[in-house]
Structure 1
Amino acid sequence: MIMNYTETQKEVILKTLDFVKETLYGEGSGHDYWHVYRVWNNAKSLAQSELCNNYIVELGALLHDIADHKFHGGDLTIGPRVAREFLEKLGVEEEVISGVCEIIATISFKGAKVVSEMSTIEGMIVQDADRLDAIGAIGIARTFAYGGHKGHEMYNPGIKPKLHETFEAYKNSKGTTVNHFYEKLLLLKDLMNTETAKKVAKKRHEYMEEFLSQFYHEWDGTM
């Protein structure tokens, strides 16, 4: 659904975009401003096919990684807190702030066997938009950027993937970057919420499978 924004809402979105750019520009782990920019565009595209509050979708997409728990000791409360403080300063109404903060608090993948479902269509859209940026060619690039940032081994045949049963186990995992495909990325296709995202995810999922096949083919250094 296309929403006609007021001038105040347009200004809030532009100020939010500036805030995100100022905060995350140049970040090197794949969770930078450009990641947010892509998720924002993904979310706007997905929202066109859904009956939703586009304003909450856009603000949720823009602020979803403003203080990612992965870089704050696993604290799931810091993202919603930073977003709330920022939006309150702009005079955004409580209903919108609550919707945005719920998205930020719930969006993250927390382990293969940990249920993390969105309760609103706005949240579902932003979650799908974020997960689409975690798979496919961009997803592959971001995965290796993050693995290098964290000092993880690229691949070690002796370390097997784990399907984590708790968020604590997932966030403390020391697995390899390639294992992350099996622990998260290859699972995302079947976790998409919207029909549009499911179609896009299928192609990106297949691309990752092709990449892994070629990776293993080259791994031993034989022709």
Structure 2
Amino acid sequence: QLAAAVLLHDCVAVEKNSPLRAGASRLAAEKAWQILDGLRWRTLEISAVAHAILTHSFSANMAPETLEAKILQDADRLDAIGMVGAARCFYIARRMGSGLYDPLDPLAEDRPLDDKAFAIDHFETKLFRLADGFQTAAGRRLALERQTRLRSVLAMLLDEI
């Protein structure tokens, strides 16, 4: 069930700036249900996979209730922090037309944080907050390691700018 949830958790692509973003995990859970039902999985197993997919998303703001759902949520959030998280942040910011940083106030000391306008603002508005919400001990340990890397990336970038 966990393998199916991992494979299908992003089976519906919704852009970060889409008004449907908050419902992306619900759409993916519904699509996964259709796929697994078509493969003649039992309803109880499909339900477990759908729950893991539904609750994995940060945007959905739903608590996972099963170990599989907790593992999927942790794994998904680990992708958002560390070196991969920094790369994803910069890549998505560019795709959305955001700047890398505010050249007059990169740390937002005299302006509100705006991660829609500046990529590094997203570190404070979301990425650094993720490590607090991990569900498993292994996830928390890995999150703290990756958060340290992410803080180093930001520090190196600020040093250069």
CA contact (8 A) 1:69 1:79 kept: no
Structure 1 residue 161 corresponds to structure 2 residue 106 = no
1:115 CA drift (Å): 4.7
1:192 CA drift (Å): 0.8
Q: Give unpaired runs (5+ residues) of structure 1.
A: 1-55, 163-172
Structure 1 residue 93 corresponds to structure 2 residue 42 = yes
Aligned length: 151
- Whole-Å separation in 2 of the counterparts to 1:68 and 1:181: 23
62 and 137 in structure 1: CA distance in 2 versus 1, 3 angstrom threshold: same
1:58 CA drift (Å): 1.0
- Whole-Å separation in 1 of the counterparts to 2:13 and 2:127: 18
- Whole-Å separation in 2 of the counterparts to 1:99 and 1:80: 10
Q: Give unpaired runs (5+ residues) of structure 2.
A: none
**Counterpart for residue 86 of structure 2:** 140
- Partner SS, residue 70 of structure 1: coil
CA contact (8 A) 2:12 2:31 kept: yes
- Whole-Å separation in 2 of the counterparts to 1:115 and 1:86: 24
Structure 1 residue 129 corresponds to structure 2 residue 71 = no
**Counterpart for residue 152 of structure 1:** 98
**Counterpart for residue 30 of structure 2:** 81
Give RMSD over aligned pairs: 2.0
TM-score where L is the length of structure 2: 0.84
- Partner SS, residue 41 of structure 2: coil
One-letter identity of the residue aligned with 1:61: V
Q: Where do residues 12-161 of structure 1 align in structure 2 (5 Å cutoff)?
A: 56-70=1-15, 73-74=20-21, 75-76=23-24, 77-110=26-59, 115-156=61-102, 157=105, 160-161=112-113
- Whole-Å separation in 2 of the counterparts to 1:179 and 1:122: 32
115 and 82 in structure 1: CA distance in 2 versus 1, 3 angstrom threshold: closer
- Partner SS, residue 177 of structure 1: coil
One-letter identity of the residue aligned with 1:80: A
1:117 CA drift (Å): 1.7
- Whole-Å separation in 2 of the counterparts to 1:175 and 1:183: 12
CA contact (8 A) 2:55 2:62 kept: yes
1:174 CA drift (Å): 2.5
- Whole-Å separation in 2 of the counterparts to 1:198 and 1:104: 20
- Whole-Å separation in 1 of the counterparts to 2:139 and 2:116: 30
Structure 1 residue 207 corresponds to structure 2 residue 149 = yes
TM-score where L is the length of structure 1: 0.62
- Whole-Å separation in 1 of the counterparts to 2:113 and 2:50: 32
| Aligned residue among 131, 135, 138 for 1:193 | 135
- Whole-Å separation in 2 of the counterparts to 1:146 and 1:68: 14
One-letter identity of the residue aligned with 1:103: A
Identity %: 30
